[in-house]
Amino acid sequence: MATHLPLYVWLLFIAIPNLFSTLAKSDTFIVHMDLSAMPKAFSGYHSWYLATVASVSDKSRVTTTTSTFPSSSKLLYTYSNVIHGFSASLSPSELEALKNSPGYVSSIRDLPVKVDTTHSSQFLGLNSNSGVWPVSNYGKDVIIGLVDSGIWPESASFDDKGLTEIPLRWKGECESGTQFNSSMCNKKLIGARFFNKGLIASNPNVTISINSTRDTDGHGTHTSSTAAGNYVEGASYFGYASGTARGMAPMARVAMYKALWDEGAQTSDIIAAIDQAITDGVDVMSLSFGIDGVPLYEDPVAMATFAALEKGIFVSTSAGNEGPFLETLHNGTPWVLTVAAGTIDREFPGIVILGNGVSVTGLSLYPGNSSLSQVPLVFMEACDSVKELKKVGYKIVVCLDKNDSLSDQVYNVQNARVAGGVFVSNNSDLGFFIQSDYPATFMVPQNGEIIIDYIKSSSEPKASLEFGKTIVGTKPAPQLASYSSRGPSQSCPFVLKPDLMAPGDYILAAWPQNNPVAEVNSRPLFSNFNLLSGTSMSCPHAAGVAALLKGAHPEWSPAAIRSAMMTTSDSMDNTFNPIEDVGENKQPATPLAMGAGHINPNKAVDPGLIYDVELQDYVNLLCALNYTMKQIQTITRSSSNNCSNPSLDLNYPSFISFFNVNDSKSDVQTVQEFQRTVTNVGQGTSIYTTKIIPMDGFQVSVVPDKLVFKEKNEKLSYKLKITGPRLMKQTVAFGSISWEDSEGKHVVRSPIVATSLSSEPLSGQN
């Protein structure tokens, strides 16, 4: 209460408009303040924010003369790191009054946020004998913080066997709460905290079912075990994908910050979680969610991660699941890693053995035990009539999806209670269907035709269905998943996004044991492991790999780690052909879909060269985006940003150029130039030369085409020029530039994209 008197004095200076305004409905706002404007009278920013909120409060204005100290109930969070400011529940008149308060910068409305393994470590080439696992000590002592739906501490993936004492620098806590005792943390799960004030403020009637870090959904248990789960033998999903489960960085530590609730998720809680993670001292953050359609200065996740960057924290984010359409990704933020999702070399065949002995393979993750043996088979065309399907009786029905109606078909067949289903479909997004609750298999039209022909030519068609099978080593893999969201980034088109792809399809990872993973005959089924798909799954893979790199190279900046991951990623699949895009008819995936390529942890640990980025480079980019000083301040939290050197040309390990000037001179050639500086992180002397994979209709040139490094950490620069028409004919063209060292040890590859898509960044309300 030391501030009591000065505070009162200060309050007198605040305009008190509209004294008798009605108490209108309040909304939560995230409010940016200019700390340099804080009156000296305040002992700290918390008391200043409290006083500011109290001074504009409708209620306190009515009772100002009698109140001794203002109520703090409207203030939800005071943020220490992520922004200079707070979140508070404010009525429209309170917000208007706040805008006239000293030190007010800007505010945004709190938003709801959409929430977007056994084998994936082997697929990525991780092994105990060589490469990044032994070099990094399996990520020992690196702390990965996840903002997610909580954690199931009893899961064997969070057992701390083999882990050493918790690093002394760790300042986090294991908070008790409903069904969560602080003794549930250990040397693997070293932090557990939860945030829901914003959620409750936005929805006062909400009942929080489990008010603690305990995961009632499963998502957070899955992502955290993917990043850093310990070894668990005999893991599987009802026999599928069986083996030893482990995260990417099995010796790294996990800290869970729960801000995604079954009841909803709000940005005010999410940035409070990130704020705390920064204070606690995490090294790597994994954020499997994002906010669509906002500019950087109105994206709380972008702001919060800028603060993380300043503390040297590496942030991995998910691109989103809105593919295959272009310009759909979120987290297209220049200072984070934006991760797309791909398949791994594993499939789950659901086999149909026809009466004539021919067997045809589809895909199935049916969790039940029952195979079907020699059951009558019937072709029901589009399976669009439940009534007709119900007449079928105990038979396996075959449905042909000609009209993108697979979900209806699956639903209809379930309702008809037949013996089983064979679904013939081109649909490339089977993730939602193949964990079916009745015997079902899903197959491509070529295979389906064999079955349909057999039915048509047989007087008494029959088939058996077999489930529970897993094959690994399938080709081609990886492939870019159809649902993976595509660039260019809407918030900052000038930085190519996504950055890279990582495994995201049918990933096996830990799951809360009391949350059903499937249903068979309306009976819930439980499992300690679940198979999930999405960029939510690829994001923690990349976070885990970042933890390994941080373990191996503690001195590397977040940009250096990102650069190492990007420039060493694979553009070829396991058949040595360009990685295919499932969402684009298996055409080669473009960098707008997969970024630089598929993450390759063992190569990333020794990249040769890195593209580093200084904090001021990001500021130069924000300046060049023509943001106002206030907008820049919401991100950098500084009121004195140096915009003397604006530049959209960030020192990034990839290139995107826009050829979209549609005018009378559209076919005139134009040149786009980029400047890059690379740092030699390999051994002393080395000579690199360029190799360019050209792009259709464009000329790419590099000056100089040879870089001679005399020592480690030396920096050398080059210029890249792309020449093409002012308006290009196709939507996307792509190629790459590689710097290859003379010893053949390092290939430092960067993707190049030219596009006619819009380069107009999103703008916001402020």
Ligand X SMILES: *[C@@H]1O[C@H](CO)[C@@H](O)[C@H](O)[C@H]1NC(C)=O
Binding residues vs ligand X (CB under 6 A): 176-177, 181, 183, 205, 208, 211, 367-369, 400-403, 426, 445, 520, 525, 625-626, 642, 644-645, 662
User: What are 513's two structure tokens?
Assistant: 């044991």
Residues whose CB is less than 8 angstroms from the CB of residue 44 and which lie 6 or more positions away in sequence, other chains included: none
Contact 585, 175 (CB under 8 A): no
* Cβ at position 622, least distance to ligand X in Å: 11
Place of tokens 């893991």: 235
- From 268, 185, 197, 196, select the one nearest 224 (Cα to Cα): 185
Nearer to ligand X by C-beta: 575 or 626? 626
CB of 635 to ligand X, least distance (A): 16
Nearer to ligand X, 27 or 714 (CB): 27
- Distance of alpha carbon 63 from alpha carbon 19, whole angstroms: 10
Nearest approach in angstroms of CB 330 to ligand X is 20
Nearer to ligand X, 176 or 574 (CB): 176
The rounded distance, in Å, linking the Cα atoms of 598 and 71 is 53
Name residue, tokens 């473009």: 590
Catalytic machinery residues: 148, 219, 536
| Residue 226 beta carbon to ligand X: minimum distance, rounded to whole angstroms | 25
Distance from first CA to last CA of the chain, Å, rounded?
A: 35
When the beta carbons of 397 and 609 are compared against ligand X, the nearer one is 397
Which pairs with CB-CB distance under 8 Å and at least 24 residues apart come from 33-37? Answer: 33/84, 33/85, 33/86, 33/103, 33/104, 33/105, 34/84, 34/103, 34/104, 34/105, 34/633, 34/639, 35/84, 35/103, 35/637, 36/639, 37/102, 37/103
Residue 598 is encoded by which pair of tokens?
């598929």
Both structure tokens of 405: 């109606």
- Rounded to a whole number of angstroms, the minimum distance from the CB of residue 263 to ligand X is 10
Nearest approach in angstroms of CB 705 to ligand X is 28
Closer residue to ligand X, CB minimum distance, 398 or 599:
398
Q: Amino acid letter at 448?
A: G
* Shortest reach from residue 417's CB to ligand X, in Å: 17
Distance CA(257)–CA(274), nearest Å, equals 8
Q: Is the CB of 667 or the CB of 711 nearer to ligand X? A: 667
CB atoms within 10 A of CB 638: 14
The Cα 236–Cα 162 span in angstroms is 22
User: CB 355 → ligand X: shortest distance, Å?
Assistant: 23
Amino acid letter for position 530: N
Q: How many helices (H) and strands (E) does the chain have?
A: 19, 38
CA distances from 293 to 319, 482, 490, 558, 630 (A): 13, 21, 7, 25, 20
Using the minimum distance from each CB to ligand X, give the nearer residue, 66 or 640.
Answer: 640
User: For 420-511, where are the E strands, in sequence order?
Assistant: 420-425, 440-443, 462-466, 471-472, 479-480, 500-503, 507-510
- Closer residue to ligand X in complex, CB, 370/689: 370
